[in-house]
Chains A and B, each alone.
Chain A
Amino acid sequence: MNELVFFINNVVISGAVSGSIYAIGAIGVTLVFSIMRFAHFAHADMMTFGALMVFMFTALFPGAGAALGIPTPLLMLPIAMVITAFLAIGIDKTFYKPLREHGVKPIVIVIASLGVTLMLQGLIRLFAGTSSRSMYIEERKEIFRIDMPFDLATRPIVITEPQITLIIFTILAVIGLHLFLNRTRMGKAMRAMSDNPDLARVSGINTNKVVVVTWILAGSLAAMAGTFLSMDVSLTPDMSFFLLLPIFAAAIVGGVGHPYGAIAGGFLVGYAETLSVFNWSILLRRVHHWFPEWMEIPRDLALVGSEYKIVVPFFILVAVLVWRPTGIFKGKVI
């Protein structure tokens, strides 16, 4: 039974955590694409930026959360989401909007977003340096150990507080997004603009307002994903480098411009990554007697070493696109 617990800890929970982070990140990328038709490369840096905001506010008021009985970073998250939303709107107004109004090709805006990436990274390093930091400044990360009600299972299932919160927040964000897109006037206007921007304008929809709302969603979701990732591991100023590929893979695999696709893609990439670095030898040892005597089970039996984890999303991307060129859900053809 310990093997099962090991599997739950290292695959089920781990995959759900990275899947949630990728999914929330990919939703932002896909929303921006569906409304403005360009790949926003600075998205992962907006995630870092949001986490940095949480870190700074936590450092300023380290005891604030304890008074309310919740972790301080979680308390600061809403503030960071608002600031990141404003940052996103500001970046759009200064860099992307003038280009859009000039009627440039999407690739020009993509390149502009690469420029914004470099700028944001510089800014983040200026304030945060290059070393990684724990988001828990005066607090300890709560770790829950759940004992299994079986005699054979001597090890507990381990899950941390930020992991639980992340999974709950992801579920809430997905439900919220679904209701927003299908029940509200602005949400429907977003879908309309994604379907047919010219007709949206002709229908009297204020497309500039839709763009602003898109950035609010993308920015605040980015801050949320970045913060939870940093709470789960730590805040590393260059984490966007490791996030960009999985997030874009998730968005593309799911079907570009398709929010539900981004969620599916996020979890697909998250679980694929986790499964590929999972050490299968622990599970196989259990069924050792099925194999011939002479066959030894190696100690380390992962599909790829964890240092090569980054290639997995790329592999998934290619594999899915060969099978379905527009992604799992039928996305917009780029």
Chain B
Amino acid sequence: MSLLNATQVEGGYGGMNILKGVDMAIDKEDIGVIVGPNGAGKSTMLKAIFGLVEVNGGDILLRDKSIKNSAPNKLVELGMGFIPQEKNIFPSMTVEENLEMGAYIKPHTTKTMLERIYSFFPPLLEKRKQPAGELSGGQRQMVAMGRALMTEPTLLLLDEPTAGLSPLYMQEIFDRIVEINKAGVGILMVEQNAKQALEIATKGFVLASGQNLYTDTGQNLLNDPEVAKSFLGG
């Protein structure tokens, strides 16, 4: 039984299909990385899984139960978390309020989870009373990840968690993702820093024009000269 199993997913915006039959399966111990050119439909795929884009073909199963076109708040209750590519914080709310909103469906766990998030992302502790919109890009990314972790999800979807971060910060975020995964959270993420991301990936998906081009282990994709040439910048 896969944690997440998406088969032949078709979907898009306003009746136009961006995704033209995409397959993707993730287990609990996996870090799945989606790479591909801009506009390939990577973000659209994550949104389709999370009920933010209408799916009008194929199926999406979470632990063998269909979650196709489920409302996002239902998916959060089923143990899924999503960190969007942009606008992934509440800018006028404080860091702590951002995290509290993450635990909206589990208010009684807020306190213990806050402590855990602060020990996981120490820089957030001293900034906790500051509006999240006033933080640096890296700190915002921590807020966004922290918010999604507040419900202790079993499957985390991340859309370009390292976009715009310095190489040092990027490595830091990847290390954190590996740590989260080791704690028993299945990961599916989109990444533009494809090489570094595939290093930590157990599964890699190359997407182009809304279709699977390659699906293999992260290492195999890195070693595939075709993939390297077309999608990893040589």
**Are A204 and B93 in contact (CB-based, < 8 A)?**
no
A200 (CB) vs chain B CBs: closest residue: B101
Interface 1/0 per residue, A177-217 and B, CB below 8 Å = 00000000100110110011011111111110000000000
Across-interface contacts of B91 in A (CB, < 8 A): 195-196
User: In the assembly, what is the distance between CA of A204 and CA of B71, in Å?
Assistant: 9
Once the chains are docked, how many angstroms separate the CA of A205 from the CA of B150?
A: 13
Contact: B107 with A185, CB < 8 Å?
Answer: yes
Chain A neighbourhood of B104, CB < 8 A: 185, 189, 203-205
CA–CA, A204 and B50, complex, Å: 11
> Given the complex, which residues of B lie within 8 Å of A195, measured CB to CB?
90-93
Q: Which of B56-114 contact A (CB under 8 A)?
A: 71-73, 76-77, 82, 84, 87-93, 97, 100-102, 104-105, 107
Q: Whole-angstrom distance between the alpha carbons of A203 and B100 in the complex?
A: 10
Assembled-state Cα–Cα distance A200/B105 (Å)? 11
A198 near B84 (CB under 8 angstroms)?
Answer: yes
Inside 8 A of B84's CB, which chain A residues have their CB?
198-199, 202
Chain B neighbourhood of A188, CB < 8 A = 93, 97, 100-101
Which chain B residues lie closer than 8 Å to A189 at the CB level? 101, 104
**Chain B, Cβ-Cβ closest to A103:** B14
Please, which residues of chain A bring their CB within 8 A of the CB of B101? 188-189, 192, 200, 203, 205
Contacting residues of chain B (15-69) with chain A, CB-CB under 8 angstroms:
50, 52
Interfacial chain B residues near A207, Cβ < 8 Å: 73
Contact A201 B72 (CB under 8 A): yes
Residues in B whose Cβ lies below 8 Å from that of A200: 90, 101
Interface residues of A in 232-246 (CB under 8 A from B): none
B102 neighbours in A (Cβ, 8 Å):
203
Interface size for A (C-beta < 8 A) is: 17
Bound CA span A192–B76, Å: 16
Query: Is the Cβ of B87 less than 8 Å from the Cβ of A196?
Result: yes
Task: Return A116 CB to nearest CB of chain B, in Å.
Answer: 28
Main SS of chain B's interface residues?
Answer: loop
> Is B147 located at the chain interface by the 8 A CB criterion?
yes
**B73 touches which of A185, A192, A198, A204 (Cβ 8 Å):** A204
B107: chain A residues at CB < 8 Å are: 185
Q: In the complex the two chains form, is B90's CB within 8 Å of A192's CB?
A: yes
Task: Answer whether residue B151 sits at the interface, using C-beta atoms and an 8 A cutoff.
Answer: yes
The answer for the CA separation of A207 and B52 in the assembled complex, in Å, is 14
Assess whether B73 is in contact with A191, with CB atoms less than 8 Å apart.
no
Of the candidates A185, A192, A202, the one whose C-beta lies within 8 Å of that of B82 is A202
Bound state CA distance, A199 and B88, in angstroms? 6
Among A199, A204, A205, A206, point to the contact of B89 (Cβ < 8 A). Answer: A199
Q: Using Cβ atoms and an 8 Å threshold, which residues of chain A touch B73?
A: 201, 204-207
- Is B93 a contact of A191 with CB atoms below 8 Å? yes
Chain A min CB distance to B129 (Å): 12
User: Which of chain A's residues have a CB closer than 8 A to the CB of B92?
Assistant: 191, 195
In the complex, which residues of chain A have a beta carbon less than 8 angstroms from the beta carbon of B147? 203
Chain B residues with CB under 8 A of A203: 76, 101-102, 104, 147
Q: What residues of A have a CB within 8 angstroms of the CB of B77 in the complex?
A: 204
Is B97 within 8 A of A196, CB to CB? no
B-contact 0/1 string along A60-73, CB 8 Å cutoff: 00000000000000
Q: How far is the CB of A100 from chain B (nearest CB, A)?
A: 15
Beta-carbon contact of A199 and B90 below 8 Å: yes
Q: For B72, give its contact among A185, A191, A196, A204 (CB under 8 Å).
A: A204
> 5 pairs across A/B with beta carbons < 8 Å?
A196-B87, A196-B90, A203-B102, A204-B73, A205-B101
- Interface, chain A (partner B; CB < 8 A): 185, 188-189, 191-192, 195-196, 198-207
List 16 other contacts, CB 8 Å, given A188-B100, A195-B92, A205-B104.
A188-B97, A188-B101, A191-B97, A192-B90, A195-B90, A195-B93, A196-B87, A199-B84, A200-B101, A201-B71, A202-B72, A202-B82, A203-B101, A203-B147, A204-B72, A204-B77
**Which 7 residue pairs are nearest across A and B when measured between Cβ atoms?**
A204-B76, A195-B90, A204-B105, A204-B73, A201-B72, A192-B101, A203-B101
